[in-house]
Amino acid sequence: MTIRSIVLASICLAFGTAFAADSAGDVIELNENIAPEVIESGLFPKSATASDCAEAAKAGFTCGQIVPRKVFSLPSGISFATGSAKLSEPAKKLLAGFGPVIKRNESSGNKVVLVGHTDVTGSKKLNMRLSQLRAESVRQYFIANFGISPSFLSSVGVGSEQLKDPSAPASAVNRRVEISARSASR
């Protein structure tokens, strides 16, 4: 067993196998300078090499558990106003960089997941609905502007359950949509 497989196994054991399978890795806040290659490698990383897969198998894991993915987050300053699910023009400009990358990878065996978030302003019920609407607005943007298959994109709202800044629960930084990908079989 190599050092790499020992490290992978240790990480998976420390956080549980679900962490390795579900973890999206780093969260990257979007900006206008993000390169398409960064988006592609973050959402749709290339498969591990055969030797990586063999080492993962020796450690009791699958290749899918060792290929890191990234989560991309719309920055709070341009995403959504309080109580709104309407995408701002600057947000649409940032999302435009994702459209061609997502379209190109529709047959990748993955699915793009859009997760909407809110701050704590408003009731729990309202925030759950609003966060779903925010994720859905991003989903509809990709469908309408890039012809991406609706079945390739899923949207979910989590309300204020996963605050980006728990020390400032009403902060605008908590109002966001995060973009990630996962295996379509999940």
**Per-residue pLDDT reduced to its tens digit, 83-95:** 889 998 989 999 9
Q: Which residue has the tokens 């600057």?
A: 90
Q: Is the pLDDT of residue 16 over 60?
A: no
Q: Which residues contact 107 (CB under 8 A, 6 or more apart)?
A: none
Task: Of 167, 89, 177, give the one whose Cα is nearest residue 131.
Answer: 177
Q: Note the pTM of the prediction, 2 decimals.
A: 0.74
Q: Is the pLDDT of residue 14 over 50?
A: no
Gap between the Cα atoms of 133 and 154, Å rounded: 12
Residue 34 pLDDT level (bands cut at 50, 70, 90): confident
Residue 47 pLDDT level (bands cut at 50, 70, 90): low
What is residue 97's predicted lDDT score, i.e. its pLDDT? Answer: 92
**Dihedral sign of CA atoms 94, 88, 152, 61 in order:** positive
What is residue 10's predicted lDDT score, i.e. its pLDDT? Answer: 39
- For the stretch 57-88, pLDDT in tens is 677 666 655 556 789 998 877 777 778 899 98
Q: Which residues contact 118 (CB under 8 A, 6 or more apart)?
A: 127, 130, 131, 134, 157, 159, 160, 174, 175
What is residue 54's predicted lDDT score, i.e. its pLDDT? Answer: 67
Query: Does residue 1 or residue 137 have the better pLDDT?
Result: 137
What is residue 23's predicted lDDT score, i.e. its pLDDT? Answer: 37
Domains, the chain, with CATH or none: 25-45+70-183 (3.30.1330.60)
Residue 183 pLDDT level (bands cut at 50, 70, 90): confident
For residues 145 and 94, the answer to whether their CB atoms sit within 8 Å is no
Residue 155 pLDDT level (bands cut at 50, 70, 90): very high
